[in-house]
Amino acid sequence: MSPFPPAATNGAVRATLLSVCDLIDSRLDDLLSQRFHVAWKRDGSPVTDADLAIESAIHSHLRERLGEIDFVGEESHGAQPTVTAGWRAVVDPIDGTENFCSGLKIWGTSVSLWYDARHVGSMLYAPELGERLMTGDTVTPIESRITGFSSSLSDDLASQLVTAGEARMLGCAVYNLMNVIRGSFQRFVNPVGAYSWDLLAGVQLALEQGCNVEVDGKPYGGEYLEPGRRYRVDIRR
């Protein structure tokens, strides 16, 4: 397929994001069969055969649809040449791998598409839960008292957790971000920080849906988040 003119409302962008969901669904049985094939990264976090397989499949799929693309994936970051213009995809193939390889259903995939450094569409998808949120969706916010927290502990997080009242720690940025965007959380806080592939799709969707978003203690204006460093986020519905 030839690359198409980018626009946040472009039906072809939405169709591409939906096609990634279809790709994951078509391979879900294989992915689940690989969820307990676990290795350990240098930072002590787990990676499964499924992480590697679906990231490679998403990369190939997007390249077939969009042509040349700068692909920034959690498992392959740094392995691909950088494209300075045109298409860029930031992908976390399995966010919440600790949950995934422990047999929990709270995990997901995030994809954020950019063209010439401009955001054109993002998607959060939790396949085993059958829940999805993407650019162009209409969200009617839920009223909630719950504050969601990241699962990376720190003294700052612990002190906020004590005073938060109703609080949840789900261990999956995709699902945390989905919940604050739709109002199932009234707030989501990650005071420790996470990488762009964990956050970029979610913070873009949060802005689209009218949430207040802070990154590293400052109002977030929708700019690209560079890979390879951590960002602290505070999102309020």
In this prediction the pTM is 0.92
Return the bridge partners of 122, or none.
112
pLDDT tens digits for range 50-71: 999 999 999 999 999 999 999 9
Question: Is 192 exposed, middle or buried (CB count within 10 Å of its CB: 0-12, 13-18, 19+)?
Answer: middle
Q: How far is residue 197's CA from residue 171's CA, in Å, rounded to a whole number?
A: 15
Element (H, E) at 162: helix 155-163
Which pLDDT score is estimated for 76?
A: 85
Answer whether 205's CB lies under 8 Å from 237's CB.
no
Task: Determine the Cα–Cα distance for residues 204 and 119; give it in Å rounded to an integer.
Answer: 8
- Beta carbons within 10 angstroms of residue 169's beta carbon: 14
Burial 210-222 (b: 16+ CB within 10 A, else e): ebebebeeeebee
Tens digit of each residue's pLDDT, the chain (237 residues)? 445 554 444 789 999 999 999 999 999 999 999 999 999 998 889 999 999 999 999 999 999 999 999 999 999 876 454 555 799 999 999 999 999 999 999 999 999 999 999 999 999 999 999 999 999 999 999 999 999 999 888 888 888 888 888 999 999 999 999 999 999 999 999 999 999 999 999 999 999 999 999 999 999 999 999 998 999 999 999
Nearest CA to 94 out of 124, 122, 116, 115 is that of: 124
Give the pLDDT score at 4. 56
Give pLDDT tens digits for 70-120.
999 999 876 454 555 799 999 999 999 999 999 999 999 999 999 999 999
Q: Which domains does the chain have, with CATH numbers?
A: 11-134 (3.30.540.10), 147-236 (3.40.190.80)
